[in-house]
C-alpha cells in the first residue's frame, strides 16, 4: 500500500516538472522577441507563436508518450511490488501466528511469575519479621554474653585456685584409692560368702516352714480322723452287739417280735442321728476352704449352682468335680445332695468321669439312671446308705457340689 503511494508521488512530480519546464520556456521566447524591432514584431510574433505552438504540440506528444511508457513501467513495477507485498504479508501472517502462540505462552508464564512474586513477597515479609525478632534476640544474647564473659573471668580465677587444691587432693586420693581397692577386694570376698550363706539360710527356712505347715495339717487331720474312727468303731461295736442281741431275740418265740422291732427302730433312729451329726460336723469343718484326706484335697460348696457352673467354680479353684474311686470318697459326700463329676452328656448311656475315664464302680440308687427328664448329670442323694447314693438329673438343676484336686 505504501509503495503505491510512493509510485503516484513520482508520477505527480514528473508531471509538475514538465509543466514548469513549459512555463519557463514561454516567457523566455517572449522576452527574446520583444528585443527585435517593432516592424517585424508582428511577423516574428506570428512565427514565434507558430513555432511555440508546434513545439508545444511536439513536446506534448513526446511528454505524453513518455508519460504513457512511464505509466506502463510503473504499473509493472507496482505489480511486482504488490506481489512482494503479498508474499511479505503471507510470511508476516505465519509470524503473527507464531507470535500469538508465543504471546499466550508468555502470558501464562507471566501469571506464574506473578504468583511466584506474590508468594515471595509474603515470604519476604515473614523473613523480615523473623529478622526483626532475631535482631532483638541477638541484642539480648549480646547482653547475656557480656555478663557471661565477666562471670567467666571470675570463674577462671576460681578455677586456678581450685586446680592447685585439686592437685593436692589428687595426691591424697591416689593414696586413698590404693587403700580402698584393698578394702574392696576384702569386702567383695566377704559379700559373696554372705550371699551364699543367706541363700542357704532362706532355702532352709522356706523348707522348714513348709514342712512345719504340712506337719501341722497332717497332725490335725490325723487327730480328727482318729477321733472319728474311734467314735465310729465304738458305735459299730455297739450296733454289732445290738444286732447280735436282736438276732438272738429274733430266733426266740414270736412273743418277743414286737420288742425286737421296737429295738430295731430305736437302733435305726440312733444310726440316722449319728449320720446327721457326722454330716453337720463335716459341714462345719469344710466350708470356706479345702480339707485334705490322704493325698487329695476336697471342697464342699455352701451355695447352689447348676452342674456346668459348679464344675467351672472347681476349675477356677484349681480342681474339678469329685471323682469317686473308692468307698472312702463316697463316704465323704454321705448325707448331702451334691453334684459329682459324672455325666453322659457326650453319648447317652455312656457315663464318664470329668477326666475322661469310664465309669467302673457305681453307687446308683435302685432304678437309676433312668433319664426321665433329659438327665445327663449325676449327683449324690443325701441318705444313710453310701452304697445306694447316686441319681441322674437335668444338668440345669441347682444344688451343692464337691470339688477335688491333688494335695
12 vs 142 pLDDT, higher one: 142
Residue 262: inside a domain: no
pLDDT of 268 reads 63
pLDDT of 45 reads 80
Residue 179: inside a domain: no
Residue 403 contacts residue 321 (beta carbons within 8 Å): yes
Q: Which residue has the cell 454330716?
A: 279
Q: How many residues does the chain have?
A: 407
Averaged pLDDT, 109-122? 89
What are the Cα distances from residue 229, in Å, to 207, 223, 234, 296, 301? 32, 10, 9, 19, 25
Q: What whole-number distance in Å separates Cα of residue 351 and Cα of residue 378? A: 9
DSSP secondary structure code for residue 355 in this structure: T
Structural domain for 320, as ranges: 287-407
Averaged pLDDT, 319-345? 90
Residue 333: inside a domain: yes
Region of poorest pLDDT, from 157-166, 215-224, 292-301, 357-366 = 215-224
Averaged pLDDT, 379-396? 84
pLDDT of 116 reads 86
Residue 373: inside a domain: yes
* Maximum separation of any 2 CA atoms in the chain, in Å: 232
Q: Is the pLDDT of residue 131 over 60?
A: yes
Residue 402: inside a domain: yes
pLDDT of 277 reads 58
Q: What whole-number distance in Å separates Cα of residue 237 and Cα of residue 231? A: 10
Three-point CA angle 389, 392, 393, nearest 5°: 125
Q: Is the pLDDT of residue 200 over 90?
A: no
Select from 75, 32, 70, 25 the least CA-distant residue to 52: 25
Q: Which residue has the cell 535482631?
A: 135
Q: Is the pLDDT of residue 404 over 80?
A: yes
Residue 334 contacts residue 322 (beta carbons within 8 Å): no
55 vs 218 pLDDT, higher one: 55
Residue 190: inside a domain: no
Q: What whole-number distance in Å separates Cα of residue 179 and Cα of residue 63? A: 143
Select from 272, 274, 394, 283 the least CA-distant residue to 336: 283
Most confident of 142-151, 222-231, 303-312, 323-332: 303-312
Residue 377: inside a domain: yes
pLDDT of 287 reads 46
Provide the grid cell at 160.
586456678
Q: What whole-number distance in Å separates Cα of residue 388 and Cα of residue 407? A: 28
pLDDT of 257 reads 63
Supply the CATH number for residue 328's domain. 3.10.100.10
Select from 373, 389, 397 the least CA-distant residue to 332: 389
Q: Is the pLDDT of residue 283 over 50?
A: no
Averaged pLDDT, 52-77? 85
Residue 181: inside a domain: no
Query: What is the bridge-based pairing of β-strands 400-406 and 338-343?
Result: parallel
Provide DSSP, 312-335: HHHHHTT-EE----SHHHHHHTTT
378: which residues sit within 8 A by CB, 6+ positions away? 339, 340, 342, 343, 351, 369, 390, 391, 392, 393
- The count of structural domains within the chain is 1
14 vs 145 pLDDT, higher one: 145
Q: Is the pLDDT of residue 18 over 50?
A: no
**pTM reported for the whole predicted model:** 0.35
Amino acid at each position: 500500500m505504501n509503495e503505491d503511494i510512493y509510485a503516484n508521488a513520482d508520477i505527480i512530480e514528473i508531471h509538475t516538472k514538465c509543466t514548469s519546464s513549459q512555463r519557463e520556456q514561454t516567457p523566455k521566447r517572449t522576452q527574446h522577441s520583444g528585443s527585435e524591432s517593432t516592424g517585424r514584431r508582428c511577423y516574428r510574433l506570428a512565427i514565434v507563436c507558430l513555432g511555440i505552438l508546434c513545439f508545444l504540440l511536439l513536446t506534448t506528444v513526446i511528454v505524453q508518450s513518455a508519460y504513457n511508457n512511464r505509466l506502463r513501467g510503473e504499473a509493472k513495477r507496482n505489480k511486482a511490488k504488490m506481489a512482494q507485498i503479498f508474499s511479505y504479508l503471507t510470511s508476516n501472517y505465519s509470524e503473527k501466528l507464531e507470535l500469538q502462540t508465543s504471546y499466550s505462552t508468555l502470558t501464562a508464564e507471566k501469571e506464574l511469575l506473578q504468583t511466584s512474586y506474590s508468594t515471595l513477597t509474603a515470604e519476604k515479609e515473614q523473613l523480615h519479621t523473623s529478622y526483626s525478632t532475631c535482631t532483638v534476640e541477638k541484642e539480648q544474647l549480646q547482653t547475656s554474653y557480656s555478663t557471661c564473659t565477666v562471670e567467666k573471668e571470675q570463674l577462671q580465677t576460681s578455677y586456678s585456685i581450685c586446680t592447685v587444691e585439686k592437685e593436692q587432693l589428687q595426691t591424697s586420693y591416689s593414696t586413698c584409692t590404693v587403700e580402698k581397692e584393698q578394702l574392696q577386694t576384702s569386702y567383695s570376698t566377704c559379700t559373696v560368702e554372705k550371699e551364699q550363706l543367706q541363700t542357704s539360710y532362706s532355702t532352709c527356712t522356706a523348707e522348714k516352714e513348709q514342712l512345719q505347715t504340712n506337719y501341722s495339717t497332717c497332725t490335725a487331720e490325723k487327730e480328727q480322723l482318729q477321733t472319728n474312727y474311734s467314735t465310729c468303731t465304738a458305735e459299730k461295736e455297739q450296733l454289732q452287739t445290738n444286732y447280735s442281741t436282736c438276732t438272738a431275740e429274733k430266733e426266740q418265740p414270736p412273743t418277743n417280735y414286737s420288742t425286737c422291732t421296737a429295738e430295731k427302730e430305736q437302733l435305726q433312729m440312733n444310726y440316722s442321728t449319728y449320720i446327721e451329726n457326722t454330716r453337720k460336723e463335716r459341714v462345719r469343718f469344710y466350708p470356706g476352704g479345702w480339707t485334705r484326706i490322704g493325698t487329695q484335697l476336697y471342697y464342699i460348696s455352701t451355695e447352689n449352682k447348676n452342674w456346668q457352673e459348679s464344675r467351672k467354680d472347681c476349675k477356677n479353684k484349681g480342681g474339678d468335680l469329685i471323682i469317686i474311686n473308692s468307698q472312702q470318697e463316697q463316704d465323704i459326700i454321705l448325707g448331702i445332695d451334691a453334684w459329682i463329676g459324672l455325666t453322659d452328656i457326650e453319648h447317652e448311656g455312656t457315663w464318664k468321669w470329668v477326666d475322661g475315664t469310664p465309669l467302673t464302680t457305681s453307687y446308683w440308687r435302685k432304678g437309676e439312671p433312668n433319664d426321665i427328664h433329659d438327665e445327663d448329670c449325676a449327683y449324690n442323694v443325701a441318705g444313710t446308705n453310701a452304697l445306694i447314693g447316686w441319681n441322674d438329673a437335668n444338668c440345669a438343676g441347682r444344688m451343692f457340689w464337691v470339688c477335688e484336686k491333688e494335695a
